Amino acid sequence: MISSFLVLAIGACLTNSLVPEKEKDPNYWRVQAQETLKTALELQNLNTNVAKNIIMFLGDGMGVSTVTAARILKGQLHHKPGEETILEMDKFPFVALSKTYNTNAQVPDSAGTATAYLCGVKANEGTVGVSAATERSQCNTTQGNEVTSILRWAKDAGKSVGIVTTTRVNHATPSAAYAHSADRDWYSDNEMPPEAVSQGCKDIAYQLMHNIKDIEVIMGGGRKYMFPKNRTDVEYEMDEKARGTRLDGLNLINIWKSFKPRHKHSHYVWNRTELLALDPHAVDYLLGLFEPGDMQYELNRNNTTDPSLSEMVRVAIKILKKNPKGFFLLVEGGRIDHGHHEGKAKQALHEVVEMDQAIGQAGTMTSVEDTLTVVTADHSHVFTFGGYTPRGNSIFGLAPMVSDTDKKPFTAILYGNGPGYKVVGGERENVSMVDYAHNNYQAQSAVPLRHETHGGEDVAIFSKGPMAHLLHGVHEQNYIPHVMAYAACIGANHNHCALDNSVGSPSPGPLLLLLALLPVSILF
């Protein structure tokens, strides 16, 4: 115990030495608070414009503790203590909380949640684009229970639409935008049970190409699900796991091309060089599939073959914004979730930092006057950091004391469960004997599991732009797309929008009053 107190005392001294000189002056904090107050008072002038454009950033698995840790990492990557750093999403004026549970799950998965925040209806775990009347893996419960997404509503309103993800384009999050499937894992017909195929259900990759044939931008991973079984991959010729998976023999890339009008300019690309060589102003439709499965982690990314999320977002917006009616864009930082599942906090947090850069990129290319931007997560993870670490402590570093029980050091970052559970000689592993700063270090966990689990707490919703103030409290997750659609005057609930003949565009009436008066039967 004495050694622990000594470590704490030393840590306290170090903490004081790390305090920036300006922060020792009380006026620094007073001026900062007054500036924040002034900004808050200006928010009383609400932005009630119609949202011409909607951009939704979804950080898969990006719970509040993940946001905080990524903020510190971002600052430390710029050689600052980190805690005072401001993420791009931190700059958004409105913040709310989202209740993430699925209809049949207290702790949710990414499929049921995607159905909620894209389709406006809560659903069962493992299902996408269907109501809770559909049971997972039961194909015969699908028909008649399909629900459409805000991507479809935007497309029906004449807007351009796009999907950008760091996972497979037929993974849980993006698939809820266009597919209706009783099982999120039906990536191609190869992953479907014969019974489901015989009952007429279609795999998610097939639905991507057939359900909404004119999605202007699709970018991410998932090449192998588009090609016939055992077709050699263009990039990984010797890797059997990268080969095509389709049992029906279809080449979905060719089908995608065949659906595009001849007078339009359609481009399929599979690497970063091809993507960045495009002139977005001369592209009407873009399909970019940069990996056989999920895209590489940002820390592992090949700068020649794989574009960053920021680069994909930049190209997507340039293509989509050509439509005078506006656009809807779904952007997923999908591998945040994968890093956490693997217990690799460093990978997960670098994914968040990259997504935050993409958020900033989108902000420079659009205006808050006509673009509603929403940043949120589908669910959290059992990820935490603590241990009374001093200011500026590496987010991946050790706590300033050892355990008062087993007398061993521990990292600030820990997981409630997962693959990081290590026992050496009958005792908890001594982390000072391993490289805990390694990109793939698996942080220690309390309970051994092959894959760390999701967390069940609420997640944040950051918003800016027209009607962003409607995301203001604690909401059910399925409320989110209703707000986005309301702001853009799309979908079923646009009775509040009247045509302004002077400018030829819809403008909102007395919004909240009319919304309150509308009968539930005519809403989504």
Q: Write down the residue that tokens 């170090």 correspond to.
A: 14
Non-local (6+) Cβ contacts of 382 within 8 A are: 415, 416, 417, 418, 452, 453, 454, 455
Supply φ then ψ for residue 493, to 5 degrees: -100, 80
341 annotated as belonging to a binding site for a ligand: yes
| For the chain, the helix, strand and coil percentages under 3-state DSSP, each to the nearest 5 | 35, 20, 45
* Angle CA 288–53–349, to nearest 5: 55
Nearest to residue 292, comparing CAs of 206, 220, 371? 220
* Burial grade of 27 (CB within 10 A; 0-12, 13-18, 19 or more): exposed
Q: Enter the tokens of residue 166.
A: 């760091």
Tell me if residue 110 is catalytic.
Answer: yes
SS3 280: helix
203 annotated as belonging to a binding site for a ligand: no
Separation of alpha carbons 83 and 79, rounded Å: 12
Separation of alpha carbons 324 and 504, rounded Å: 12
Separation of alpha carbons 452 and 338, rounded Å: 9
Within a 10 A sphere around the Cβ of 97, how many other Cβ atoms? Answer: 17
Non-local (6+) Cβ contacts of 516 within 8 A are: none
Active-site residue, from 65, 98, 110, 380: 110
Helices (H) and strands (E) in the chain, counts: 15, 21
332 annotated as belonging to a binding site for a ligand: yes
Separation of alpha carbons 480 and 463, rounded Å: 10
Nearest to residue 306, comparing CAs of 270, 331, 330? 270
Non-local (6+) Cβ contacts of 185 within 8 A are: 126, 191
H helical segments located in 102-147? 110-119
378 annotated as belonging to a binding site for a ligand: yes
Residue 96's beta-bridge partner residues? Answer: 461
Cβ atoms 380, 457 nearer than 8 A: yes
500 annotated as belonging to a binding site for a ligand: no
240 annotated as belonging to a binding site for a ligand: no
171 annotated as belonging to a binding site for a ligand: yes
* Angle CA 322–375–60, to nearest 5: 110
Separation of alpha carbons 397 and 406, rounded Å: 19
Cβ atoms 236, 292 nearer than 8 A: yes
Q: Is the dihedral of CA 186, 191, 194, 195 positive or negative?
A: negative
Which residues define the annotated binding site? 60, 171, 173, 332, 337, 341, 378-379, 454
Which residues are part of a known binding site for Mg(2+)? Answer: 60, 171, 173, 332
Question: Hey, which residues are catalytic here?
Answer: 110
